[in-house]
Amino acid sequence: MPAQVDNGGPPPTLPAARGTSIEAMKQIAARRLAPARVTARRSGPTIAAAMFLALAGSTGAVAIIRAVVPNAAPVYLLAVLTVGMLFGTVPAVLTSLAAFLLYDFLFVLPVYTFTIASPDEWLNLLLLVAVAVVIGRLAALQTERAQEAADRAREAESLYRITGVLASTRTVGEATPLVLAQLAETTAMDRVWFGLGPSPTEERIVADTAAAESLPVPGWHVVLQRPPDRPAHWVRTHVPRAGSPRAALAVVHRVRVEVAGEALGSLWALRARAEREPDRAETRILSAAADQLGQAVVRDRLAREATNAEILRESDSLKSALLDSVSHDLRTPLATIRAAAGSMLDRSITWTQDEQLDAFQTIDAEAERMGRLVRNLLDLSRIEGGALRPELAAHDAGELARQAAGRINPQGKMIQVDLPETLPAVLVDDVYLGQILANLLENAVRYGGATIVIRGRDLPEESAVELSVADDGEGVPVRALTHLFDKFYQVPRADGLSRRGMGIGLTVVAGLAHAMGGTVHAEGSALGGLTVIVTLRAAAVLPPDGDESGLVWSEAR
């Protein structure tokens, strides 16, 4: 059992003794006289002096009153009332007794002696004393209540500020300095700091009102004990293996920060040794602040956990969505291939040569499509890793466009290649441009209507060539146009159904175009659907040296 601390002040006040505690009165009186820090010890002489002054004043007035007022008793009552209001019950009772003696001495016949001649006078005097005591006590109580109300208001105001700070900040780290500054001010502590950790010696200091280096955990300090069924009180505690006591200079106060039985850390406060122990209001504020900080720490932790869980969940669901699309996009052509092969293998059916040719072409086109998907996945990782190495050379855009259109399975749709004869050669990697066009055409076949048009336009002043793939499908909402090239982006549908596909085709288009020094953008098409426009660098025109076109041609790979 740790000893009750004696840090120079009176023993802790207990609410049980509230109304009558002499020490409490003294403290109140002391604060009243000097709102700055006045210790309880210094209040004794002050009260004596004040009482003396009051009585002396009243005695001084006796002569005058004697001449004017036939009965001087009310004057004494007034003195008792004043003392009671200012200094509390005990001074008021003492004043009453003094008043009794003085009245006896000055007014009761024979005057200037303490002798009382008449039994009537006895009665009078006793009544006076009784009334004086009651008045003094009532006045003292009144003052005490007013003081208590003021204390409560101060406490509430302070708690209000603390909760306000916690509510308006996002993290404990942000809130604590403000809370501690508020605490230091309202609880008259020299320094307040907040540490997080399971035990005092393992604590990490989160915030400190003093800029100086953090204090070692003192070898002894007072800890606020907060038993559930009894009022909180400060208890001196020794910490094994902690720093040396700096007790000579200051007392360190510690309030444990606990939530649901879990020790989270401590709220520390330092007050010069000569100062009094924290009063009830200050103790309550420190205690409530510790609780609030504890809640904030827990809130922080939960928020962090929730965020982490959310990140995990999102990356998980993204992964599974990607896997799902990849498997869907690979299975679809694979199913067609298997159906074609299975049909051809059925010995019970005799297929015509045309039908066989058709099946083999389907197998070829679908295998091509699977290859393109795998290439897109690889390209995507290359784009992200910055590992694209285009081999740029001059190529005929028309030629590449026609090749790409020939390789795609049009699924009954019409693909027009509409490029001007005069279109200059483009400086591209033909494999990349082939992949770009294939991706654009596949999208157009999948989402477009009956007609797909590939167009080309010369931009001589920019030495660039524009290639566009337009469809006459539903198109894409304007809002979605800018996101079209984002990885895994899928155009939201009005009916909430998810689009099929992985959302990487256009990302790859943009990545490949950029790698070749080109750009890509999308807009509504004149056909009513979507147009994707790829701007590519035109191949440099060589000075005419006999080659008719003046262009550098490279062998198609």
Partner 1 sequence: MTAPGAWLLVVDDEEPARRLLRDYLARRGYRVHEAASAVEALRAWDAHRPDLVLLDLGLPDLDGVDVIRRIRREATTPIIVLSARGEERDKVVGLEAGADDYVSKPFSIGELEARIHAVMRRLGGADTSPDGLLRLGSIELDPARRAVTVAGNPVHFSPREYELLKVLLSNQGRLVTRERLLRAVWGLEYTDAREYLHVYVGRLRRKLSEAGIGPLIEQMIATETGIGYRVAAPKPDLPADAPTAG
Residue list 21-80, contact with partner 1 (CB under 8 A): none
> Are 87 and 29 contacting, i.e. CB atoms less than 8 angstroms apart?
yes
Q: Which two tokens stand for residue 325?
A: 């699309």
x/- track of binding to partner 1 for residues 374-393 (CB under 8 A): --------------------
**Residue 144: C-alpha distances to residues 20, 30, 80, 86 (Å):** 10, 12, 16, 9
Q: How far is the CB of 416 from partner 1 (least distance, A)?
A: 19
Of the two residues 329 and 430, which places its CB atom closer to partner 1 in the complex? 329
> Are 529 and 449 contacting, i.e. CB atoms less than 8 angstroms apart?
yes
C-alpha 39/C-alpha 50 separation (Å) is 17
> Are 186 and 158 contacting, i.e. CB atoms less than 8 angstroms apart?
yes
The SS3 assignment for 251 reads: strand
Residue list 534-553, contact with partner 1 (CB under 8 A): none
x/- track of binding to partner 1 for residues 164-203 (CB under 8 A): ----------------------------------------
Residue list 413-472, contact with partner 1 (CB under 8 A): none
Residue list 78-97, contact with partner 1 (CB under 8 A): none
Among 18, 37, 238, 500, binds partner 1 (CB under 8 A): 500
Q: How far is the CB of 408 from partner 1 (least distance, A)?
A: 12
C-alpha 404/C-alpha 84 separation (Å) is 104
C-alpha 204/C-alpha 219 separation (Å) is 17
Phi (first) and psi of residue 489, to 5 degrees: -75, 135
Q: Which two tokens stand for residue 453?
A: 């048009």
Of the two residues 343 and 403, which places its CB atom closer to partner 1 in the complex? 343
String of DSSP letters for 374-390: HHHHHHHHHHHHT----
Of the two residues 231 and 449, which places its CB atom closer to partner 1 in the complex? 449
C-alpha 122/C-alpha 217 separation (Å) is 65
Q: How far is the CB of 360 from partner 1 (least distance, A)?
A: 12
Among 1, 64, 260, 497, binds partner 1 (CB under 8 A): 497
DSSP tag of 556: -
Q: How far is the CB of 361 from partner 1 (least distance, A)?
A: 9
Of the two residues 355 and 486, which places its CB atom closer to partner 1 in the complex? 355
Q: Which H helix or E strand runs over 76?
A: helix 73-87
Q: Which H helix or E strand runs over 237?
A: strand 233-238
Residue list 393-422, contact with partner 1 (CB under 8 A): 409, 411-412
Of the two residues 124 and 409, which places its CB atom closer to partner 1 in the complex? 409
Q: How far is the CB of 351 from partner 1 (least distance, A)?
A: 8
* Residues whose CB falls within 8 Å of the CB of residue 228, separated by 6 or more in sequence, listed in order: none
Of the two residues 186 and 362, which places its CB atom closer to partner 1 in the complex? 362
Q: How far is the CB of 176 from partner 1 (least distance, A)?
A: 47
Q: How far is the CB of 311 from partner 1 (least distance, A)?
A: 23
Of the two residues 6 and 355, which places its CB atom closer to partner 1 in the complex? 355
Among 365, 431, 480, 551, binds partner 1 (CB under 8 A): 365
The SS3 assignment for 296 reads: helix
Among 104, 208, 366, 442, binds partner 1 (CB under 8 A): 366
Q: How far is the CB of 446 from partner 1 (least distance, A)?
A: 8
Of the two residues 364 and 523, which places its CB atom closer to partner 1 in the complex? 364
CB-neighbour burial class of residue 342 (10 A; exposed 0-12, middle 13-18, buried 19+): exposed
Of the two residues 386 and 412, which places its CB atom closer to partner 1 in the complex? 412
Region of 128-136, 256-264, 482-490, 494-502 interacting with partner 1 (CB under 8 A) = 494-502
Residue list 303-362, contact with partner 1 (CB under 8 A): 324, 327-328, 331-332, 334-340, 342-343, 346, 348-349, 355, 359, 362
Q: How far is the CB of 500 from partner 1 (least distance, A)?
A: 6
Residue list 265-294, contact with partner 1 (CB under 8 A): none
Q: Which two tokens stand for residue 126?
A: 């006793």
> Are 58 and 69 contacting, i.e. CB atoms less than 8 angstroms apart?
no
Of the two residues 212 and 497, which places its CB atom closer to partner 1 in the complex? 497
What b/e readout covers 420-451, taking b as 16+ CB neighbours within 10 angstroms? Answer: eeebbbbbbbbebbbbbbbbbbbbbbebbbeb
Q: How far is the CB of 412 from partner 1 (least distance, A)?
A: 6
* Residues whose CB falls within 8 Å of the CB of residue 17, separated by 6 or more in sequence, listed in order: 24
Q: How far is the CB of 369 from partner 1 (least distance, A)?
A: 9
C-alpha 166/C-alpha 52 separation (Å) is 50
| Total number of residues that touch partner 1 (CB under 8 A) | 28
Q: Which two tokens stand for residue 160?
A: 């209000």
Of the two residues 421 and 495, which places its CB atom closer to partner 1 in the complex? 495
Q: How far is the CB of 491 from partner 1 (least distance, A)?
A: 12
Radius of gyration of the chain measured on its C-alpha atoms: 47
Q: Which two tokens stand for residue 315?
A: 């990356």
The SS3 assignment for 217 reads: coil
* Residues near partner 1, by CB under 8 A: 324, 327-328, 331-332, 334-340, 342-343, 346, 348-349, 355, 359, 362, 365-366, 409, 411-412, 495, 497, 500
